[in-house]
Structure 1
Amino acid sequence: MKKIALFFIPLLIISCASRKDIIYYQNIDGLSANSIVNSYEIKIQPDDLLSIIVSAEDPEIAAPFNLQSVSLQSVKNLDLVNAQSTMQLYLVDAQGNINFPVLGKLKVSGLTRTEILSMFHTKIGNYIKNPIINIRIANFKISVQGEVALPGIYDVPSERMTLIEAISKANDLTIYGKRDNILVIREIDGIKSFNRVDITKADFINSPFYYLAQNDVVYVEPNKSKINGAAVGPNTGVIISITSILITLITLIVTTGK
């Protein structure tokens, strides 16, 4: 009977996760205010969709620099549906270029939004005095996979998202997620990089992967408890409970028999 009990004690110990495996930002009190200052501006990549709108005091002067609105008509359930496209989108091609009205082909891949704005102000400034230019990425998204409550693809309207915000959108990690080895897959100029982040240590705030880039993939690995549970089977908890009851009954029978 003692041997049986000794068999289950390690299982109980293994199932208990330690604080250092669960708690976020464990050494944050040790970081100085200067050490957590982190700024990041994403760079444009091929396949990005850019919304670019040029405005001026006189709308007619700015009109040549904007795509014409296109009226779309479709039949659905025998009803005529009219829709008008208001977003002016430019696809960054495989070479990192866009074709822009009047200005022609422009290289934008590898540039930040600030750098592109500066370029446009310089070029369009030759035609328009004090142009107003609005640029944003229309298809900024990130993917969150693995041991999170709500894995999925999430749109980013602000063009800035941190790793913690992405995890929060996915309703946080499950208790089985490895917090010290989160994988961030990033592609830059066609080259993928695989990067590990430990969110149990607060200094990850200074990591280049604290801020996510467009199309980043965040993957949370399962911990040993989840892997071992999957190997044994989904009914492990039930089996252990039944076994515990049987051990208790056998102990009572043996004790009563004496």
Structure 2
Amino acid sequence: MEPDTAYMALEAPVLRLQKNDRVQIVVSANAPELAAPFNGGVGSYRVGDDGSVSTTVDRSAAGYIVDQTGAIDFPILGKMQVEGRTLDQVREMVRGQLVAKEYINNPTVKVELLNLKISVMGAVGGQQVLQVPEGRITLLEAINQAGGLAVVADPQAVLVIREENGLRRKIVNDIESRSIFDSEAYYLQQNDIVYVEPKMAVNTPREQRNRAYIGFGMGMFAFAISLFALFK
């Protein structure tokens, strides 16, 4: 990339739910007791001394798992097809059914993806799995959070391995090129794997010791040959 030059970046794509995703759906209403039965996957609710009902949202709760048919099993409403839908679409679907079936007249529905995680591997400062509570992360941000590129990293061979519709594919990126801002992998998706290839093979400690022994042995052999030639 050229210094002091502005480059256009792609707009962040909208995340769509996939099989095995874990999604949290919180329903609220003016009368909390009406919403409580629909919040079985978000924590717990309690009844106060005055009869009021309040919901406690727990991010560590299991939420709802998108099964292999692309559906979640939502309390009272039953099976709901959510695979391929955005979080906004799921929110409107839940809200629409609550109103249409006259459970709640004016509900508020919040939908959140709980398993937005990115694995960063290869020639980086620290290989790890990143949790992304903000709901959005770029390829450059993920590398930075993993400790940046290692000395042996090849910035022209940063791979993003992505699974979509049951198929896994590899997207090659050059993060030193302006093309990185046009890459479909610039904004990462849930369960993406980022692999930074090294420029050269990195020797393990055992391989380094073996190379040292071989070098020492060859040096001693050459020294012996020199002595033999000297005193011959």
Q: TM-score, normalised by structure 2?
A: 0.76
Quick one: which of 6, 18, 25 aligns to 1:52?
A: 25
Q: What's 1:38 paired with?
A: 11
* Percent of residue pairs bearing the same amino acid type: 35
CA distance in 2, matches of 1:27, 1:185: 28
Q: What's 1:61 paired with?
A: 34
Q: How does 1:226-237 map to 2 (within 5 A)?
A: 227=201, 234=208
CA distance in 2, matches of 1:197, 1:163: 9
CA distance in 1, matches of 2:57, 2:83: 25
Report if the CA contact (8 A) 1:148-1:220 is conserved.
yes
- Give the deviation of 1:41 after TM superposition: 1.5
- Counterpart check, 1:122 vs 2:96: yes
Q: What's 2:177 paired with?
A: 201
CA distance in 1, matches of 2:147, 2:130: 12
Determine helix, strand or coil for the equivalent of 1:46: coil
Structure with the larger helix share: 1
The structure-2 alpha-carbon separation of the partners of 1:189 and 1:166, relative to structure 1 and needing over 3 Å to count, comes to: same
Q: Unaligned 5+ residue runs, structure 1?
A: 1-25, 72-83, 243-258
Q: What's 1:89 paired with?
A: 63
- Counterpart check, 1:165 vs 2:141: yes
Runs of 4 or more consecutive aligned structure 1 residues displaced over 4 Å after TM superposition = 28-32, 68-71, 235-239
Report if the CA contact (8 A) 2:88-2:111 is conserved.
no
Report if the CA contact (8 A) 1:28-1:201 is conserved.
no
The structure-2 alpha-carbon separation of the partners of 1:174 and 1:237, relative to structure 1 and needing over 3 Å to count, comes to: farther
Report if the CA contact (8 A) 1:229-1:236 is conserved.
no
Q: What's 1:110 paired with?
A: 84
Report if the CA contact (8 A) 1:31-1:203 is conserved.
no
The amino acid across from 1:98 in the alignment is I
- Give the deviation of 1:139 after TM superposition: 1.9
CA distance in 2, matches of 1:130, 1:218: 43
Q: 1:125-160 CA distances to partner (integer Å, 9 max, x unpaired)? A: 223222111111112211000000100111111121
The amino acid across from 1:118 in the alignment is E
Report if the CA contact (8 A) 2:139-2:188 is conserved.
yes
Q: What's 2:189 paired with?
A: 213
Q: TM-score, normalised by structure 1?
A: 0.68
CA distance in 1, matches of 2:81, 2:156: 39
Determine helix, strand or coil for the equivalent of 2:26: strand
**How many residues of Structure 1 are paired with residues of Structure 2 in the alignment?**
198
The amino acid across from 1:191 in the alignment is L
The amino acid across from 2:150 in the alignment is T
Determine helix, strand or coil for the equivalent of 1:135: strand
Q: What's 1:191 paired with?
A: 167
The structure-2 alpha-carbon separation of the partners of 1:28 and 1:207, relative to structure 1 and needing over 3 Å to count, comes to: farther
Q: Unaligned 5+ residue runs, structure 2?
A: 46-55, 217-232
The amino acid across from 1:59 in the alignment is P
Q: What's 1:180 paired with?
A: 156
The structure-2 alpha-carbon separation of the partners of 1:165 and 1:234, relative to structure 1 and needing over 3 Å to count, comes to: same
* CA root-mean-square deviation: 2.8
- Counterpart check, 1:101 vs 2:75: yes
Q: What's 1:20 paired with?
A: none
> Which structure exhibits the higher relative contact order, with contacts defined as CA atoms closer than 8 Å and separated by 6 or more residues?
1
- Give the deviation of 1:205 after TM superposition: 1.5
The amino acid across from 2:2 in the alignment is N
Report if the CA contact (8 A) 1:100-1:106 is conserved.
yes
- Give the deviation of 1:70 after TM superposition: 6.7
- Give the deviation of 1:85 after TM superposition: 8.7
The structure-2 alpha-carbon separation of the partners of 1:236 and 1:176, relative to structure 1 and needing over 3 Å to count, comes to: farther
Report if the CA contact (8 A) 2:22-2:62 is conserved.
no
